[in-house]
């Protein structure tokens, strides 16, 4: 496809990756996302840089009528695939809370031009949906798992769910949804002591562990720089424990720097360091919120109302032209750490991780 019919931005990037949030609801209250538990309040008080407590949380769930329907999401992906989008990730909130999400996966799996269809989940409800998702055409799944210690898992997520998530990961592997990725957000004083144990777990089970820096995307705006364990620090610690070999990627747009274990095995480690080592220059992602707004960056302060275009009788060609205009204005980079940085008004759970 020539650039004339593609999603390109004014910085010369061609957009190929669309992340779709199918609900803003979540059954976990992760400390780095929706810190609504007492444990979260307690943790942040101990680390709070200023005198004040974390800001109060105020995020009513979206009314159902505001959510894009499966038909609307499918139409959007068809249009986007016609403009060069090749990868779609279904996310949330917790995507498995969206009723019959497997039907959406089946619709998306049939769209010509899509090469990759993945889902990100906390895993709690995965076992009841796994076979249906596989049958619907899901190719890959990423789980979030920030602790292997039941107590710490509960502190971080607000839920007693470690056993469920571990079982979900095993099942995904048994169903051949490989490679199974596991995302762990590493936060100083919370779970950084588990870094090596998580890496070991990944190695033992042939998983692709992705260690992610804590980003200022929590609804309480309690993020502070001293809580961030940088990718460099994580790598130093992992290299002190393991001989690692870099994995060369064929895609510059990949978010993770990756290593395999020199001692062998299918497991892999990846570091995602958007705070300390931004990779915006190669970012090829667009995001669609559950209420049908396009975000051109995780840290966008403006959103673009696709839903009204979809619901006002416009042709696919008109929606596509609008989308190309939105993509053109994608931000050059996020501004974390710069004096004029403004944290987005919506948390990761609303934006879609």
State the Rg of the chain over Cα: 20
Tell me the C-alpha distance between 56 and 4, whole Å: 46
CB of 121 to ligand SAM, least distance (A): 5
CB of 310 to ligand SAM, least distance (A): 23
CB nearer ligand SAM, residue 168 or residue 217? 217
Tell me the C-alpha distance between 48 and 221, whole Å: 11
CB of 4 to ligand SAM, least distance (A): 34
In 274-339, DSSP assigns E strands to 285-288, 293-295, 304-305
CB nearer ligand SAM, residue 61 or residue 328? 61
CB nearer ligand SAM, residue 82 or residue 344? 344
CB nearer ligand SAM, residue 130 or residue 215? 215
Cis peptide before 179 (omega within 30 of 0): yes
Q: SS3 for 331?
A: coil
CB of 185 to ligand SAM, least distance (A): 4
CB nearer ligand SAM, residue 120 or residue 296? 120
Angle between helices 316-328 and 70-82 (to 10 degrees): 70
68: tokens are 């894009």
Tell me the C-alpha distance between 43 and 189, whole Å: 9
Residue nearest to ligand SAM (CB): 353
CB of 123 to ligand SAM, least distance (A): 8
For binding to ligand SAM (CB under 6 A), which residues are involved? 26, 32-33, 91-92, 94, 120-122, 144, 183, 185, 212, 214-215, 217-218, 348-349, 353
């Amino acid at each position: 496809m020539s650039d004339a019919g593609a999603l390109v931005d004014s910085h010369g990037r061609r957009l190929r990756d669309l992340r779709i949030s199918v609900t803003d609801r979540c059954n976990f209250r992760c400390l780095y996302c929706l810190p609504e538990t007492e444990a979260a309040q307690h943790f942040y008080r101990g680390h709070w840089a200023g005198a004040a407590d974390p800001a109060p949380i105020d995020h009513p769930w979206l009314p159902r009528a505001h959510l894009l329907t499966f038909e609307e999401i499918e139409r959007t992906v068809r249009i986007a695939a016609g403009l060069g989008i090749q990868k779609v990730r279904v996310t949330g909130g917790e995507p498995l809370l969206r009723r019959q999400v497997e039907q959406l996966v089946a619709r998306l799996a049939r769209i010509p031009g899509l090469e990759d269809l993945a889902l990100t989940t906390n895993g709690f409800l995965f076992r009841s949906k796994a076979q249906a998702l596989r049958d619907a055409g899901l190719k890959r799944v990423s789980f979030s798992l920030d602790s292997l210690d039941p107590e710490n898992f509960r502190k971080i997520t607000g839920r007693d769910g470690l056993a469920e998530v571990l079982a979900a990961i095993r099942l995904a592997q048994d169903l051949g949804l490989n490679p199974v990725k596991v995302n762990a957000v590493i936060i100083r004083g919370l779970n950084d002591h588990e870094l090596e144990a998580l890496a070991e777990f990944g190695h033992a089970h042939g998983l692709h562990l992705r260690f992610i820096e804590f980003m200022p995307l929590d609804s309480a705006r309690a993020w502070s720089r001293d809580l961030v364990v940088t990718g460099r620090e994580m790598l130093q610690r992992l290299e002190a424990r393991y001989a690692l070999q870099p994995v060369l990627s064929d895609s510059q747009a990949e978010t993770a720097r990756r290593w395999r274990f020199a001692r062998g095995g299918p497991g892999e480690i990846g570091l995602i360091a958007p705070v300390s080592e931004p990779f915006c220059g190669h970012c090829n992602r667009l995001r669609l919120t559950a209420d049908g707004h396009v975000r051109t960056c995780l840290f966008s302060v403006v959103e673009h109302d696709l839903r009204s275009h979809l619901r006002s009788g416009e042709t696919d060609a008109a929606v596509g032209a609008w989308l190309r205009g939105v993509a053109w204005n994608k931000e050059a980079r996020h501004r974390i750490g710069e004096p004029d940085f403004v944290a987005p008004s919506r948390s990761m759970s609303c934006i879609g991780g």
